[in-house]
Structures are given as C-alpha cells and as structure tokens.
C-alpha cells in the first residue's frame, strides 16, 4: 500500500518525505486555505513547490463545479508538473470532466466519494484514483472501512485499474485497516503515519537493551 500525506503544509511534507516512506501528497481547498495560500498564482506556485519536495503523485483540486471550468482549471494544473493529479469532485459535471481528462491522458483523483455506487461510476469514467472519505463516514455512525472493502472487491472483480485511495484517515489504526482491506493508497495526516512507530514494548525493550549495554560498557 502506498502512503500519501494529506496536507498542504510544507514542513509536514518534508518531515514525511525524510522518513523515506512517502509516495505522494493530497491537498484540497480547505487544506490550502489552512496554510493561508490564496490567489491563483500563489496556489499554483505552492503545488509546484510540493511537486519538488516529493517524487510522486500530487493531487491538486479544481474549484469549478461546471464541466468547462473544471477542464480549463484541470488542464492548467496538469501542465504545472508531470506529477500533478487533477482532483475532481464526485458530481455529474465532475464525472464528465474525469472522462474528458482520462481520454486526454490526464490523471485524476475523484474526491468526496461516500458510496460504492459513486466509486463504480468514477472507475467507469476512467478515474486514476478514487477517494472514499472513511473518517467522515465513521462520523455518521457507519463503518468507513466497509466501504473501502466493498470498492476494492468491485474493482478487483471487474478488473478496474482505478486505485482505491483511502482518504479522511484519522488514526494509525485506520491505516492498518486500509492495508488489510486492500486499499492501494492511504492518504494520512502526518501524526497517523508517525503513530505507526509506537508500541510500548518497543519503547521499554529498547530502554532495557541500552541499559544492559551501558551496565557492561560503562
Ligand atoms: C482527501 O484527499 C481529503 O483531502 C481528506 O482526506 C479529507 O479529510 P478530512 O475528512 O480529515 O477533512
């Protein structure tokens, strides 16, 4: 399973990249706004900066909601860097845009997916990746992980090439469960990735090893 980081924060992207386990980045308009990135020129520059930090797919989301607007924006984004993946919302116009981009060889990430029906449609349209938002589903007292497993099953049975990119991850357990369910990618906050290191027995075991070593070596 590939690990993406879900942020527009450059320091966090650098930190995750330095771990050597980072395969890509996802952003969205809320994450860009959180970093105070505003104005088209700055937004585009920020995407290029991210692309120069990580050698892997970088999702950049369109903000238009009509076909013509999405196409115009998406083509501009895709021209920024070879690693840009145009992130398109799961709406009727978005599906048309995904099909258009797919025919042109432009990579897409279909975002805001909350059902297997939506994921099926995104794959039919030729989306490169599909983003089911598991944390937000959990918030509605439904199990987001069931959706990941359902989409993985449908894509495997029918041979769709669309990658399942588990999004809206809230914990290291989510990452683990996504791996079990067969997700191709998990896009995660930095903390969920670094929490994967943690185990109390690793901590106490290492302390003991170092203490024993110090006893005889001084
Ligand atoms: C996906 O690409 C989205 O950016 C993201 O995972 C949404 O997560 P949230 O529910 O924590 O906002």
**29-56 per-position pLDDT tens digit:** 999 999 999 999 999 999 999 999 999 9
Mean pLDDT of 158-176: 98
Q: 168 CB under 6 A from ligand 1?
A: yes
- Distance CA(120)–CA(131), nearest Å, equals 12
**172-215 per-position pLDDT tens digit:** 999 999 999 999 999 999 999 999 999 999 999 999 999 999 99
Burial 63-90, CB ≥16 within 10 A → b, else e: ebeebeebbebbeebbeeeebbbbbbbb
**pLDDT over 90, % of the chain:** 100
Task: Supply the residue whose CA is at minimum distance from atom 11 of ligand 1.
Answer: 168
Owner of token pair 């070593």: 213
In three state form, how does the secondary structure of the chain look? CEEEEECCCHHHHHHHHHHCCCCEEECCHHHHHHCCCCCHHHHHHHHHHHHHHCCCCEEEECCCCCHHHHHHHHHHHHHHCCCEEEEEECCHHHHHHHHHHHHHCCCEEEEEECCHHHHHHHHHHCCCEEEEEHHHHHCCCCCHHHHHHHHHHHHHHHCCCCEEEEECCCCHHHHHHHHHHCCCEEEECHHHHHHHHCCHHHHHHHHHHHHHHHHHHC
Mean per-residue pLDDT of the chain: 98
Query: What confidence category does residue 95 fall into, taking pLDDT thresholds of 50, 70 and 90?
Result: very high
**70-93 per-position pLDDT tens digit:** 999 999 999 999 999 999 999 999
Question: For residue 73, what are its two tokens?
Answer: 């924006």
**Active-site residue 14, yes or no?**
no
User: Among 31, 133, 170, 193, which residue has the most ligand 1 atoms within 8 Å of its CB, making it the best to mutate?
Assistant: 133
Q: What's the 213 CA to ligand 1 centre distance in angstroms?
A: 45
- pTM, two decimals, is 0.96
Query: What confidence category does residue 218 fall into, taking pLDDT thresholds of 50, 70 and 90?
Result: confident
């Amino acid at each position: 399973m590939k690990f993406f980081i879900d942020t527009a924060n450059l320091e966090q992207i650098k930190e995750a990249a330095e771990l050597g386990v980072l395969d890509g980045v996802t952003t969205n308009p809320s994450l860009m706004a959180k970093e105070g990135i505003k104005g088209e020129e700055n937004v585009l520059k920020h995407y290029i900066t991210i692309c120069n930090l990580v050698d892997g797919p970088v999702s950049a989301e369109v903000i238009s909601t009509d076909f013509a607007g999405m196409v115009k924006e998406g083509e501009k984004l895709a021209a920024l860097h070879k690693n840009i993946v145009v992130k398109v919302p799961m709406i009727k116009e978005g599906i048309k845009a995904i099909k258009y981009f797919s025919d042109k060889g432009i990579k897409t990430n279909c975002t805001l997916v909350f059902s297997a029906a939506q994921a099926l449609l995104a794959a039919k349209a030729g989306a490169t990746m599909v983003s089911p938002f598991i944390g937000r589903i959990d918030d509605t007292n439904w199990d987001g992980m069931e959706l990941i497993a359902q989409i993985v099953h449908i894509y495997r049975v029918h041979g769709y090439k669309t990658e399942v990119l588990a999004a809206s991850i809230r914990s290291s357990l989510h990452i683990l469960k996504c791996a079990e369910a067969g997700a191709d990618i998990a896009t995660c906050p930095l903390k969920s990735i670094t929490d994967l290191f943690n185990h109390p027995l690793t901590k106490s075991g290492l302390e003991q090893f170092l203490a024993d070593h110090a006893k005889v070596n001084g």
